[in-house]
């Protein structure tokens, strides 16, 4: 008997859910301009959010690549013996924030200098027999932001003749990256809240226009959850529909940008995120955002303005 009762309850719930889905879809089609206004609000906002998201994620990628290239070059004193060099290496290795140390002998340093200058570098070939350059330790930090602190510690060590890491430029670079990331997060959050406000007010107008319908549902004994569900689903459909155009536009534009970058920036240090799977991740995120915005807007309108 209990099993039959549970089966009946499940069947009723399924039928009720189907009724809510049909009613919400019918409402989306029936409300015409209201539906268009809601979808437009989500579309415009998600387009802006999507563009900022793509820019921020690629900025993070480029910034991460640049950060990985930041290194400390420790020029070893010319008077240092092999034992002194090993002692300096051990002392640098003992710094917890250091990830790796590579030794670059002065002969390699001279070759690198000559190669970097191209034809002009041949002038330095006269120093191959009597190389005036220093041996160098190339040090990398586990976290690029610790570069300056590590450099300051190494400068105080014996036989560290000179320490270079792009002083001044590196600090400005890290500051720019941090500010850009924070500004991007604030802008995206602001756009999302704007979208929620717009769709909440748009759906509120729709709900107010149907207040008589809701009153009738109350009079015949409809529960609060029964009244809320169609609006909940309606907001869901509006949010998902509003995400379609931004996904298409961003995918097409990003594909063009990727193709252009592959042609014009080939061989440069700037590399953008690959089209796949990045654009699919962004698309999924925009659909999720659209759905959440729509649902939130509907629920807030029902709860705050109709008090059901």
pLDDT at 252: 93
pLDDT at 128: 62
pLDDT at 93: 92
pLDDT at 7: 54
Query: Can you tell me the mean pLDDT for 108-137?
Result: 72
pLDDT at 208: 67
pLDDT at 88: 92
Q: State the Cα–Cα distance between residues 183 and 189, nearest whole angstrom.
A: 10
Record: fold of 71-164: Alpha-Beta Plaits (3.30.70)
Query: Can you tell me the mean pLDDT for 61-69?
Result: 76
- Residue 205, CB half-sphere, CA atoms under 13 Å: how many? 13
Question: What residues contact residue 304 under an 8 Å CB cut-off, 6+ apart?
Answer: none
pLDDT at 46: 85
Q: State the Cα–Cα distance between residues 67 and 141, nearest whole angstrom.
A: 10
Q: Where in the chain is the domain with CATH 3.30.70.3040?
A: 71-164
Residue 302 is given by DSSP the state I
DSSP string, 153-184: HHHTSTTEEEEES-TTHHHHHHHHHHHHHHHH
Highest mean pLDDT among 63-77, 140-154, 188-202: 140-154
pLDDT at 233: 83
Q: State the Cα–Cα distance between residues 297 and 201, nearest whole angstrom.
A: 8
Q: Per residue in 139-168, pLDDT tens?
A: 998 888 888 899 989 998 988 888 888 776
What residues does 75 pair with on adjacent strands? Answer: 136, 162
Residue found under tokens 């002692």 = 87
Q: State the Cα–Cα distance between residues 251 and 161, nearest whole angstrom.
A: 52
pLDDT-derived band at 191, boundaries 50, 70, 90: confident
pLDDT-derived band at 169, boundaries 50, 70, 90: confident
| Stronger pLDDT, 198 or 294, i.e. the higher one | 294
In this model, does residue 132 exceed pLDDT 60? yes
pLDDT at 120: 64
Q: Per residue in 235-283, pLDDT tens?
A: 888 888 888 999 999 999 999 888 887 777 655 556 788 888 889 999 9
Q: State the Cα–Cα distance between residues 71 and 29, nearest whole angstrom.
A: 60
| Stronger pLDDT, 176 or 171, i.e. the higher one | 176
Helix (H) or strand (E) holding 26, with range, is: helix 2-30
Percent of the chain exceeding pLDDT 70 equals 75
Query: Can you tell me the mean pLDDT for 23-50?
Result: 76
pLDDT-derived band at 126, boundaries 50, 70, 90: low
SS3 of the chain: helix, strand, coil, percent, to 5: 75, 5, 15
């Amino acid at each position: 008997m209990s099993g039959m009762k549970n089966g009946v309850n499940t069947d009723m719930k399924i039928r009720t859910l189907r009724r809510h889905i049909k009613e919400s879809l019918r409402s989306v089609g029936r409300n015409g301009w209201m539906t268009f206004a809601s979808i437009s609000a989500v579309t415009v906002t998600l387009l802006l959010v999507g563009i900022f998201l793509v820019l921020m994620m690629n900025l993070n990628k480029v910034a991460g690549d640049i950060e990985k290239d930041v290194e400390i070059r420790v020029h070893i004193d010319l008077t240092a013996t092999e034992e002194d060099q090993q002692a300096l290496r051990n002392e640098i290795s003992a710094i917890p924030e250091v990830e790796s140390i590579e030794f670059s002998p002065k002969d390699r340093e001279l070759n690198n200098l000559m190669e970097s200058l191209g034809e002009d570098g041949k002038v330095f070939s006269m120093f191959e027999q009597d190389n005036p350059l220093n041996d160098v330790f190339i040090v990398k930090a586990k976290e690029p932001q610790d570069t300056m602190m590590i450099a300051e510690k190494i400068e105080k060590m014996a036989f560290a003749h000179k320490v270079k890491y792009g002083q001044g430029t590196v600090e400005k670079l890290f500051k720019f990256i941090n500010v850009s990331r924070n500004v991007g997060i604030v802008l995206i959050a602001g756009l999302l809240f704007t979208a929620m406000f717009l769709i909440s007010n748009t759906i509120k107008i729709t709900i107010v226009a149907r207040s008589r319908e809701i009153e009738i549902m109350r009079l015949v004994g409809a529960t609060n959850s029964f009244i809320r569900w169609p609006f909940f689903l309606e907001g869901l459909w509006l949010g998902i529909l509003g995400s379609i155009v931004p996904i298409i536009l961003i995918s097409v534009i990003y594909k063009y940008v990727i193709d252009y970058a592959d042609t014009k920036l080939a061989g440069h240090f700037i590399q953008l995120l690959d089209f796949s799977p990045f654009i699919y991740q962004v698309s999924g995120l925009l659909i999720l955002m659209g759905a959440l915005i729509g649902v939130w807007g509907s629920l807030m309108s029902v709860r705050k303005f109709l008090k059901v």
